[in-house]
A and B are shown apart, each in its own frame.
Chain A
Amino acid sequence: MSLAQDLLEQAQHLANRDGADPKQASLRRAVSTAYYAVFHLLIDEAVNNWGIARHRGKLARTFDHGSMKRVCDDCVKSFYNTGKPASELPLKEVAQTFLELQLKRHTADYDNSYLWTKADAQKWIDRTAAAFTSWDAIRTQDESQDFLLSLFLPKLNRP
């Protein structure tokens, strides 16, 4: 099983380990882990396109949370700007889930004033699982491969 899949499974485990009365620590780690599941899913998919296997680890370290956010932001906005084409819905779902989870990861890790509930945490873990399914259906398409490339390329202002 891939690291991304293991992280998703671990997020599920953390959200449910305390039963009906979950600890804040468990829910926070669950949400944070769900974000890293989708983060590593996209990175793994991108670097696995690189032909030289021993370079992939170094390449993976170049991915930046902020840059990935901007690319996902553009992807979601583009979907709505172009009239919500059905063919681009799965990729939009992946990008939107990444954006939501990234924000929730920050809340979970740094904002102790926010109280997580099991329903909220579980919702985002389920959403992550759905993003994995969406990605699996479109991973070989040109748009998806272009999306992966854009995740780690610097933003080009030249035409």
Chain B
Amino acid sequence: MFVPTELRKDAQINAAVRTVLKELYPAVKHIRFSIDQDWTGEWAIFFRVMLSDELTDRRRLNEVTDRLMDRMMDELDLPNLGMMPHFNFRTESEQAELNDPDWAPLTA
């Protein structure tokens, strides 16, 4: 997918991901993202967030995911980003079953 140059803010996005991951690890295992158009054709960031299997309690899971979205919105400097972030969540065991390459951790 061709992404306009002005929206290629990978360094800014990666920095936000690192900061938030540091805060929420080990409840959050890793975060991947892609930039794509939403259903109206507007550009958006799609985050894929891998959660620990330890988050079995629904209230705790909501606390962590809400916190993650708030912190990412803060760190991304939304007014200057030019795109709206969106979030999807999966647990490690769900990913193990689905084996979806888009959700696998990036190898260094």
Contact = CB atoms under 8 A, between A and B. Distances in A.
A100 B46 CA distance: 11
Contact of B38 (A81, A103, A120, A127): A103
Chief secondary structure at chain A's binding surface: helix
Interface stretch (B1-9, B10-18, B21-29, B58-66): B58-66
B40 A69 contact: yes
Interface in B84-103: 84, 86-91, 94, 98, 100
The winner among A73, A96, A100, A120 for most chain B CB atoms within 10 A is: A120
Given A77-B78, A80-B73, A100-B87, A119 B39 contact: no
B51 interface: yes
Contact of B58 (A80, A96, A126): A126
B79 A119 contact: no
A106 interface: yes
Interface in A101-142: 102-103, 106, 115, 117-120, 122-123, 126-127, 130
Interface of A: 66, 69, 73, 76-77, 80-81, 96, 99-100, 102-103, 106, 115, 117-120, 122-123, 126-127, 130
Contacts of A96: 69
A72 to B, nearest CB: 10
Contacts of B88: 120
B84 A76 contact: yes
A118 B51 CA distance: 13
A99 B84 contact: yes
A117 B62 contact: no
A92 to B, nearest CB: 9
A117 B103 CA distance: 13
B86 A100 contact: yes
19 contacts: A69-B40, A76-B84, A77-B78, A80-B73, A80-B79, A81-B79, A99-B86, A102-B39, A103-B39, A103-B86, A117-B90, A117-B91, A119-B51, A119-B61, A119-B90, A120-B89, A120-B90, A123-B62, A130-B62
